[in-house]
Chain A
Amino acid sequence: MRVGPRRWRFASIGNLWRSSLQVRTVVITVLLTSMAIAVFGAVAALSISQDLFSSRLNQVLSVSNRAIAEAQSSLSASAATDTASIQELMNKVLSDIEGTTTSQKVALLRSEKASFGYTQDITSGGLGLDDLPKSLRAAVRENSTGLWWESVDIGGDPAIIVGAGLTVQVAGLHEVYVVFDLSGEAQTLAYVQQILYVGGIALALLLSAIMLGVVTLVIRPVRAVASTSRMFAGGDLAQRIDVRGEDELAVLATSFNQMAESIQSQIIQLETLSTMQQRFVSDVSHELRTPLTTIRLASDMIFDGREQLDPSYKRAVELLHNQVDRFELLLGDLLEISRFDAGAATLSATKFELKALAKRIVSSFLPLAAERGSELTLRAPRPKCLVTADERRIERIVRNLIANAIEHGDGGQIEVWIGANRSAVSVAVRDHGVGIAAVDQSRVFDRFWRADSSRKRTIGGTGLGLSIAAEDTLLHHGALEVWSKPGEGSCFRLTIPRTPDGQITTSPLGLPPTSPSPQTSSIILPKTWREESGHDK
């Protein structure tokens, strides 16, 4: 399934944002400064435009005022009464207004029909009557004293039209409109805006470039620190940061280097310690075993000929023999535990079939179970349960669980359940014995812990069995769980992934496993096995 390119782009942008301090800083700065520049530019443009307009307006109005006042006084002073002289007068007034205002677009219009025949509407400079806004004309007609002005658009350029009323003797009320072109101001404003835009953009770009440069300058040492830290965390303990200058980064670098030194030396110490411990274990192992062999050989030899001894010597040899056994077991378990502690335990995984292993183990325990009066059954599903694990260790765990079940089963039923699912396999040993109190369930895996100190260890456990079993389970990244109800019994469930690097999703067996699921079938070993006792190895 291909992720669409757009989503990929967004995802990669998001990644870039999250992972790069430089990008974040620069982008934020650029955005903020651009906004500030934009705001400033807008305010500047606005105030400039207003100022341009208002100053031009003032000029326009003062010039118009003068022109129209002069025009009105010429008109009032005139003695013209006939059309020709009135028209001559209007011509002169028109030309004077054009001259005074320097506007090329002037309109001199009749206002009332009563003056019909004396004057006509005259416009100059190509000004059309439609260019004059109706609102302005209405205003001037309504109030012919004073100046009216309106902003208009003539041919795409902004302009101000100033209108006023003029009274012409005999001919009546007239309106004069003078158009003042503001395209110069508009051009100036456009130019200023252009400068502001270009300047603003250039400024923003320059700022971002500067920002980029400055941030890079700062980021470089930070990146160096970050990459050195990463390499250090990845395992290269010899990494140190170059210390330059005396600023905060130098302090950071120095502190980092000191910390790295201390960590490195501590780890080296620990490694040395661990190596020493491992060597100690192996040395102890070797050193202890040789005298132990001698003791064993001697003890066994004497034990074999104990009938020829006096009863007390015989008894002594029997005790000796037992304790040598026990000693050997304990030594083995201790060495095993110390190997775990030193981190020297290794997993040698092979693929094997769990049911076959379980069958073999159960078979070997049948005589002992029968001795204790416990019925030992194996419940396993029909299909093969293949698993890749350390067979020796798994066997050890299962043996320990069954031994414990027999020890504490009080002669009840003991079921060994096998379960498997896609991710894991499971072995559960259920006994119906004395059970474990709730408070004790978590301590059951402690070393040399014993629930009821009054109980004797009859089968000959060392007290380290469950601890070793737990360590073995951990080595497989599995789980060893306990369920118990005092008086009803206990269940220990081992779950390991099918492969050493696998992940357990759920355990194939319940805790405790209930009556067989459709998959499981109860395998009841042949009677001959159960009955056979004393089958010595």
Chain B
Amino acid sequence: MTSSRMRLLRAGQTWGGGRARLACVLSVVVAVTGVLSGCASIPTSGGPNHVSDIDTDATGGYIITPAGPASGDSQEEILRGFIDAGTGFSNDYAVAREYLTSDLKSTWDPSASVLVYDGQPTISIGQDGKADVSVSVGASIDQDGHLTETSTNADVKQTFTLVQVSGEWRIASAPDGVAIIRPRFSLIYTQQTLYFYDPDFAFRVPDVRWIANTPWAATRLVQLLLKGPSSWLAKGTVATAVPDGTQLAVDTISTSSSVTTVELSSQALTADARGRQLMLLQLQATLSGLSTVSKVQISVNDTVVPISDLGSDAPITNPSPQAARLIVDDGESLAYLSDDGTTEKIAGLADAISQLPLTSFTIRGSTAAGTTAQGLWIATGDADAPTQLTQSSSSGVSIDPHGYVWAVVGQRVKVFGPDGSETSVAQSWLGDDVISAKLSRDGTRLAILARNGSRVSVLVSGLVRDKEGKPSELVQPLTLTTLDRGASAIVWSSDQDVAILASAGNASTVTVMTVGGESTTKTSTAKAIAMTAGSGEDSIRLLLESGEVFAPRGSSWLQVATGISAIGYSW
């Protein structure tokens, strides 16, 4: 009996201990469950949360499916259908090829050119199946994606031949290239930028191209990049970090888990470490315009080439938005004018030229330059007083990255070294009819307004420097457009856009043109005497004769300052 009683006692004790522990565990579990279930709801408060990136390009990617030839179509209907089918690039223009005979199907090359037309094509059917199609072309794109806009439309005539195949009309001969009506063109073609470098690899230099927004756009861009810069940049104005002879090893660029892999041939490996970094940056910058691309990597022979970021060492895009600051001359001194209207006097360099009756000025680094009715003045370093460089009236002053001062003096483009001595720059093609000129911030391109008969030509010319960076030659330019007489000033409003001020009567027009792209026009109500721009369209400032400074707001202008005699930007 005692033993069993003892056993009972012992069992009771352990049971008691175990029970207490179990109760503890259970209560903890219940408490935790209660807390968790309280959290099971959609939050209604919690303070602001920041997301750094805004995805700017989230639209686009349109595909047009044109109609194919129908049974019983007339010759005119076949031609209209064929032209309309130029919008359908799917399957290498499969629908357009349906309009062609089997011979022409395999030889017709739609990528040769794109004609952007307005209105309707005019079709005249002739004898023997010959037909003429005439379209009113407003812009055209060559096979490398260079857009040329004409200020006025021009009729382009193309000749086709039609034959009957099994009772249906088909096109037997047609010129290469497609013609697209403008509204559809803006739907399916996009402006992209190839990036190259200045010869010192300090700045990125843009080269605008136009491509169809197809799923293989990335491949096309890289192919164009590898092909090299446009002819007007190719003569030494820009450099590329891609080694000579590098090709795309695979004709498709694939993106997986938001990393785009560019497969290059083995020549890519001949670049040194910094060269590879620059090359990757080039590809990244070029492809960043596509919404499908975020991060780029290079691979050779199926292995990813590890390339580290350039970081702060990277060539900057010119111009960088933060650097440019608007300076106003109120007649007494120069001051920074910020967006909220506050002025801040500039000490130092600016004082040197502030005493002059400036018509235009610019400050860059340790050099300040200004133009008056009497000539061109510069001040460098600690100089208290400016140095006069020229006696004749000057306008359009810019300072390049190497310290050279550029100005239009006596309807010619003149360049002065940092010490004030003139440097001659070969400009054989340019006559004595320069109205205004401005050097791009990266120092590679000069935007020029030049008289051309009764009109004014807008030109952009590439600059070739020697090994020390001294400007040596202005290369044959790209003509953007021709404008009416009133054009008076040209400035760079971004690394790839120029702004042209034209006045007529009591109003002025500012035309912003992308070099190699389209243009937009803004009109102001008053006549402006000067224009300056920093970075971006919003930085354009107009100075009226009354001393008011206007800034663009939407499609009109807003006064931002009064009593100003000259405006300029500092870099």
Contacts and interface: CB of A to CB of B under 8 A. Distances in A.
B7 A122 contact: no
Interface stretch (B65-73, B352-360, B396-404, B465-473): B65-73
A113 interface: yes
Interface residues of B, number: 31
A121 B61 contact: no
A121 B119 contact: no
Contact of A129 (B65, B119, B187): B65
A131 to B, nearest CB: 11
A234 to B, nearest CB: 21
A225 B8 CA distance: 16
A84 B8 contact: no
Nearest to A123: B63
Interface stretch (B99-107, B178-186, B333-341, B445-453): B178-186
A446 interface: no
B54 to A, nearest CB: 15
Interface stretch (A86-94, A144-152, A171-179, A196-204): A86-94
A116 B63 contact: no
For A83, A85, A127, which residue has the most chain B Cβ atoms within 10 angstroms?
A83
A111 B501 CA distance: 48
A1 B564 CA distance: 116
Interface in B119-143: 119-120
Given A122-B64, A123-B62, A125-B61, A113 B186 contact: no
B67 A120 contact: yes
B478 to A, nearest CB: 28
A341 interface: no
A300 interface: no
For A85, A87, A98, which residue has the most chain B Cβ atoms within 10 angstroms?
A87
A14 interface: no
Which label, helix, strand, loop or mixed, suits the secondary structure of the B interface? mixed
A160 B287 CA distance: 33
A110 B70 CA distance: 15
A84 B59 contact: no
B62 A121 contact: no
B67 to A, nearest CB: 7
B28 interface: no
Interface string A125-168: 11111000000000000000000000000000000000000000
A441 interface: no
A254 interface: no
Contact of A124 (B11, B61, B70, B120): B61
Given A91-B183, A244-B8, A244-B11, A83 B120 contact: yes
Contacts of B184: 87, 91, 120
A420 to B, nearest CB: 58
A83 B181 contact: yes
Contacts of A120: 64-67, 84, 87-88, 184
Interface string B182-201: 11101100000000000000
B114 to A, nearest CB: 16
Contacts of B70: 113
Contact of B80 (A85, A113, A117, A122): A117
Given A88-B183, A120-B184, A242 B7 contact: yes
Nearest to B58: A104
A198 B186 CA distance: 52
A127 B187 contact: no
B422 interface: no
A155 to B, nearest CB: 14
Nearest to B182: A84
Interface string A444-480: 0000000000000000000000000000000000000
Given A87-B183, A244-B8, A124 B62 contact: yes
Give the interface size class of chain A: 20 to 34
Interface string A369-392: 000000000000000000000000
Given A82-B119, A82-B120, A117-B84, A122 B62 contact: yes
A394 B289 CA distance: 119
A56 to B, nearest CB: 16
B433 interface: no
B99 to A, nearest CB: 14
Contacts of A122: 62-65, 187
A83 B84 CA distance: 11
Nearest to A129: B65
Nearest to B12: A244
B120 A126 contact: no
A95 interface: yes
Interface string A232-267: 000000001010100000000000000000000000
B520 to A, nearest CB: 16
A240 B1 CA distance: 10
Which label, helix, strand, loop or mixed, suits the secondary structure of the A interface? mixed
Interface string B1-45: 000100110010000000000000000000000000000000000
Nearest to B188: A122
B215 interface: yes
A241 to B, nearest CB: 9
Contact of B64 (A84, A88, A121): A121
A240 B11 CA distance: 17
Nearest to A89: B183
A240 B3 CA distance: 12
A341 to B, nearest CB: 39
A113 B72 CA distance: 13
Nearest to B120: A83
A91 B186 contact: yes
Given A82-B119, A113-B70, A117-B80, A127 B183 contact: no
A246 B181 CA distance: 98
A124 B84 CA distance: 18
A125 B118 CA distance: 26
Nearest to B292: A126
A84 B61 contact: no
B16 to A, nearest CB: 13
A502 to B, nearest CB: 46
Contacts of B183: 84-85, 87-88, 90-91
A242 B4 contact: yes
A394 to B, nearest CB: 53
Interface in B165-218: 181-184, 186-187, 215
A85 B181 CA distance: 10
B77 to A, nearest CB: 8
A531 B380 CA distance: 173
A173 to B, nearest CB: 15
A123 B62 CA distance: 6
Contacts of A85: 183
B353 to A, nearest CB: 49
Contacts of B61: 104, 124-126
B118 A94 contact: no
B63 A127 contact: yes
A88 B185 CA distance: 10
Contacts of A109: 65
B216 to A, nearest CB: 12
A126 B63 contact: yes
Contact of B63 (A83, A88, A124, A242): A124
B268 to A, nearest CB: 30
Contacts of A98: 59
Contacts of A110: 67
Ranked 9 nearest A-B pairs via Cβ? A87-B183, A121-B65, A88-B183, A124-B62, A123-B63, A120-B64, A122-B64, A120-B66, A125-B61
Interface of A: 82-85, 87-88, 90-91, 94-95, 98, 104, 109-110, 113, 116-117, 120-129, 240, 242, 244
Interface of B: 4, 7-8, 11, 58-67, 70, 77, 80-81, 84, 87-88, 118-120, 181-184, 186-187, 215
10 contacts: A82-B119, A82-B120, A87-B181, A91-B183, A109-B65, A117-B84, A122-B62, A126-B63, A127-B63, A240-B4
Given A87-B187, A122-B187, A244-B11, 10 more contacts: A82-B119, A83-B120, A98-B59, A104-B59, A109-B65, A110-B67, A120-B67, A120-B88, A121-B67, A124-B63
